[in-house]
Amino acid sequence: MKRRLVAGLIGAVLVAASLAQAAEPKGSLSAPDALAKLVKGNANFVAATLKHPDQTEARRTKLAAGQNPFAVILCCSDSRVPPEVVFDQGLGDLFVVRVAGNVADGIGIASIEYAAEHLGTHLVVVMGHSRCGAVTAAVKGDALPGHLLTLMEALEPAVAATQGHVGDPVTNAVWSNVMQTSARLRGCGPILAELVEKGKLTIVGANYDLDTGVVEFYEQPAAATEAAAIQ
C-alpha cells in the first residue's frame, strides 16, 4: 500500500514535471514589441498613471507552471531604479539582473544566457542611471575597501574611455559603461553572440534619469526592428 502510494506520488511528480515542461514557454514578444511595451510602461510611470499589470493572484497562479519574461533588464542595484516599477510591469514580465554599476560578470552573463537561450526572451536592456554611486566612485578613483575594488576594476574601462571628454565625467562614464557592456554581451560567445547573429536577440543600452523618471534608450527601436526583420 505504502509502495503503491509512493509509486503514485512519483507518477504525479513526473506528470507535474512534464506539464511544467510543456507549459514552459518558448519564445516571447519580439524585440520591437518588447521595447515598445517598456517605453509605454515607462511613460505610465513618468506620468504617474501606473497600471500595475500582472500583479494579481490569477497571474501568480498562471506563472507557477513556467515563466515567459518579455525582456531582460541588466541594471544597477540602486534602490531608486527598480525595473518593475519604472517600466510599470508585474510578475513574470521582466527577467532582472541587478548589480551595482550594472556591470556584467560571469554569473550575470550566465543569467542573461539562461533567459535568452532557455526562456526565449528576445530583448536585453542594459540600463545605467544618472549620478550612479558606483560609477562616481570609479571616476573619483579613491582606494576602496573589501570587494568594492572588484567593482571599481570592472568600471575602470568605462572611466578610461571617457577621460578628458567634454561634459560631466560621471554621466560620460555611465554612458560608456552601458555601451561597453552592451557591446560585450553582443559579442559574448557562444550563446549570446550566436543569438544576436541569427537576429533572435537584440541588446540595447538605456539610461534612467533619477530626476524625471524617463528611460532613454541609446539604441532606438529602429535597431531592434532591423534585428527582428532578420528573424
> What's phi and psi for 115, nearest 5 deg?
-65, -40
Helices in the chain by DSSP H: which ranges? Answer: 2-23, 31-46, 57-63, 83-86, 106-113, 133-140, 148-161, 169-186, 191-197, 221-229
CB of 135 to Zn ion, least distance (A): 7
Among 31, 35, 76, 151, binds Zn ion (CB under 5 A): 76
Strand 71-75 vs strand 123-129: parallel, antiparallel, or unpaired?
Answer: parallel
User: Is position 206 an interface residue for Zn ion (rule: CB under 5 A)?
Assistant: no
Binding pattern to Zn ion, positions 89-128, x when CB under 5 A? ----------------------------------------
Among 99, 109, 132, 227, binds Zn ion (CB under 5 A): 132
Choose one: 17-25, 59-67, 71-79, 166-174; the region binding Zn ion (CB under 5 A): 71-79
Measured from the Cβ of residue 3, the count of other Cβ atoms closer than 10 Å reads 7
CB of 129 to Zn ion, least distance (A): 6
Q: Which residues bind Zn ion (CB under 5 A)?
A: 76, 78, 132
